Amino acid sequence: MLSATIGNIDLAAILFTLFWVFFAGLVIYLRREDKREGYPLDSDRRGVTVEGFPGMPAPKEFLLAHGGTVSVPRKSADLRPLAAAAAAPHPGAPLVPTGDPMIDGLGPASYAERADTPDLTIDEEPRVVPMRVDTTFRVSRNDMQLHDIPVIAADGQQVGTITDLWVDRSEPQIYYLEARLNESLGGRSVLIPIGFVDISKSRRQVRVDALYPDQFRNVPALKSPDQITLLEEDRITAYYAGGLFYADAKRQEPLL
């Protein structure tokens, strides 16, 4: 009787069903885990919490690489004031900035509330630093030496000169160019993300099309002249990204 019972079981069908049950459970688990950041979603409808399926996971403590812990999902949501107003009264209407969106962090200029501490290397040292701090870095003799090279804004005017290069100690590459602004723009030092510059060897200049001269005044400053925090990295990069859209009203018009 045992052999007859086993003979009537389709083992392949059972294994196939078990695989799909496991796979579905894995997808649900991963989908729930990826809601530890960014959820619940904000809604412009009162009393509505957007979580979707599956719901958010229970809070969990994670150990940070260089000490300390973080609990996610976080109990408190992002409570920063939103300097924008709905373009129309209906739900889902686009938001229109009410101030300077590049400073207020809207749209492409938005940034996350990351830790206001430097990212560290495995040796517990700041990861991104100027070359004056880590003198083991050198620019190849075959490459253009950027010190004292003029910085040109979107309108073709010179706004300052390059004074140093900021490098990533973990992955040897240039992250930022440090520039001293002209006295007419405040004369302070600002960082320019390397992804927003166009280096011209023939003209011996660095062009930054994201910003116009006066907008360099408001580039977010650093707390320390020789290191940058994770929050400062996000804010500076977001400011230049916002300039690609908000620096000039013409940039906000449709391409076609």
> Which residue segments constitute the domains of the chain, with CATH numbers given?
9-65 (4.10.540.10), 109-252 (3.90.50.10)
d(CA 104, CA 199): 29
Pick left, alpha or beta for residue 146 (phi over 0 → left; psi -120 to 50 → alpha; otherwise beta). alpha
Each residue's pLDDT tens digit, 206-247: 999 999 999 999 999 999 999 999 999 999 999 999 999 999
- First-residue to last-residue Cα distance in the chain: 77
Rounded to 5°, the CA angle 218-125-225 comes to 25
Q: Structure pTM?
A: 0.83
**How many other C-beta atoms are found inside a 10 Å radius of the C-beta of residue 135?**
7
Q: CA-to-CA distance for 176 and 52, rounded, in angstroms?
A: 39
Sorting pLDDT into bands at 50, 70 and 90, what band is 2? very low
- The span from the CA of 73 to the CA of 254, in Å, is 38
What is d(CA 139, CA 177) in angstroms, rounded to the nearest whole number? 13
Report residue 88 as tokens: 């129309």
**pLDDT over 50 (residue 156):** yes
Query: Which residues touch 138 (CB under 8 Å, ≥6 apart)?
Result: none
In angstroms, the CA 243 to CA 216 distance is 10
Q: Output the DSSP codes for 200-223.
A: ETTTTEEE-TT--GGGGGGSPPPS
Question: What would the pLDDT profile of 6-60 be if each residue is shown by its tens digit?
Answer: 556 788 889 999 999 999 999 999 999 998 888 887 776 666 778 888 988 988 9
Among 194, 190, 179, which residue's Cα sits nearest to residue 228? 190
